[in-house]
Structure 1
Amino acid sequence: MLLEKLLEEFHMDLGMINPEQSRLYDSFFEKMSLKRNTFLIQEGEVERYSYFIAEGMARCWTLNHKGEEQTFWFCKAGTFSMSNISFTLQEKSEFSVQLLVDSVIYRINTEKVNDLYAAIPPLKITFGDLTARLLSRLLKRNIDLIKYSPEQYYLYMMEEYGPVFNSIPLKDIASYLGITPQALSRIRKRIF
């Protein structure tokens, strides 16, 4: 059940939604199996769907001032894609979201979201709480990159992402940590 996965990921009370509501929630989404490197959105587009990642992982990136890809977030299983920002605001996306591995995605459009909120009114409040928790994660990531060395943050990432961490290309991890691939290679030699 999608909603349970989402609530578990954000450490929220599963009792707030009953099994019938959970099944109803899932019925509003369209399941898709997508291949590695598929874009959910490219910078400059307006997102038409909200994507829930059931299995797999995506990266959020943009071009930095040097014209190089800069990864700034990973969307893991049990979370919505960060393209939801463009979807919710109906504004052009400031970044691209691309799948790192073959993934199972569930998507929903604006009309169905409105129908979903009408069918399960408590979701509007729940999603407000989820948005606050996501903002907290984004802020924590920025603070952690200041507080911890790239090596310490790399070790944290290994724990946070589990086995799927091995699917993330090293260039994307280095970019996310704000270091060169060569510096990441030295960190990995010290750890392993």
Structure 2
Amino acid sequence: MLLEKLFKEFNVDVNTFNSADSKRFDQYFERILVKKNTFLIKEGELEKYSCFIFSGIARCWTLNHKGEEQTFWFCKEGSFSLSNISFTLQEKSTFNVQALADCEIYRIDQDQAVKLYEAISGLKEVFDDLTARLLNRLLIRNINLIKFSPEQYYLQMMAEYGNTFNSIPLKDIASYLGITPQALSRIRKRIF
């Protein structure tokens, strides 16, 4: 169930592992429900879990040089939270991850992760590839901020996030695009 959703998000062949391995994968994760506005991690904390967003959406943000919240990433359904950086490196987080909607999350701690990699042959290599794909998405985001106007990027976001897009507050979309809420309002008036 979890692997299939993850593989779908990253366009990986769902037949990479057999159904027994997929079921085994799920058994290593703990299901939790997270309420809207709850922090998955706060800046300065050390992440104890790798968190998979099964449903819902979270935002990654930090304070900019003016002391204002600046959203730089959305962790959408079918992907892992960027708090995994702290989890993997075992370093304190340099940003916050906060649920924008009620979320169903599956999490795994370090000990269980080691056991999972031992239980499913080839999983570590697949996850290394998924990490590279995520890093590429982050790079593409930075490039798109240069290449596209905020309006073009907004339209691209609408297509990428689908129905989940409606769960994102407009102030966070504006922050993500690097524009004011007023500028976003003008864009939305032109589009709709």
Deviation at 1:62, TM superposition (A): 0.3
The TM-score, its normalising length taken from structure 2, stands at 0.99
Deviation at 1:121, TM superposition (A): 2.3
What SS does the aligned partner of 1:91 have? coil
User: CA separation in 2, counterparts of 1:26 and 1:41?
Assistant: 23
The TM-score, its normalising length taken from structure 1, stands at 0.99
What percentage of aligned pairs have identical amino acids?
A: 70
Amino acid of the structure 2 residue aligned with 1:120: I
User: CA separation in 2, counterparts of 1:105 and 1:128?
Assistant: 21
Other-structure match for 1:87: 87
Gaps of at least 5 residues in structure 1 are none
Paired residue total? 192
What SS does the aligned partner of 1:54 have? strand
Alignment of 1:1-192 (within 5 A): 1-192=1-192
Deviation at 1:34, TM superposition (A): 1.1
Deviation at 1:16, TM superposition (A): 1.2
User: CA separation in 1, counterparts of 2:146 and 2:52?
Assistant: 30
What SS does the aligned partner of 1:115 have? helix
What SS does the aligned partner of 1:105 have? strand
Show CA shifts across 1:19-44 (max 9, x none).
Answer: 00000000000001110001000000
Amino acid of the structure 2 residue aligned with 1:167: S
What SS does the aligned partner of 2:66 have? coil
Gaps of at least 5 residues in structure 2 are none
Give RMSD over aligned pairs: 0.5
